Amino acid sequence: MAGRQRSLRRVVESWLGTHGATDIRVTRFSGTRRKRCRCVRVEASGERGKLAILFFRHDDGSWCVFPPAPSRPFMGAEPETHVSLQ
- pLDDT tens, position by position, for the chain (86 residues)? 456 667 888 898 888 876 666 788 888 888 766 666 688 999 988 888 888 999 999 888 899 999 888 777 777 777 776 666 66
How many angstroms separate the CA atoms of 35 and 20, rounded? 36
State the pLDDT at residue 34. 64
State the pLDDT at residue 68. 85
For the beta sheet containing 38-46, the strands, ordered from the edge strand earlier in sequence to the opposite edge, are 21-30, 38-46, 49-57, 63-64
Q: So where are the chain's domains?
A: 8-64
How many angstroms separate the CA atoms of 45 and 77, rounded? 53
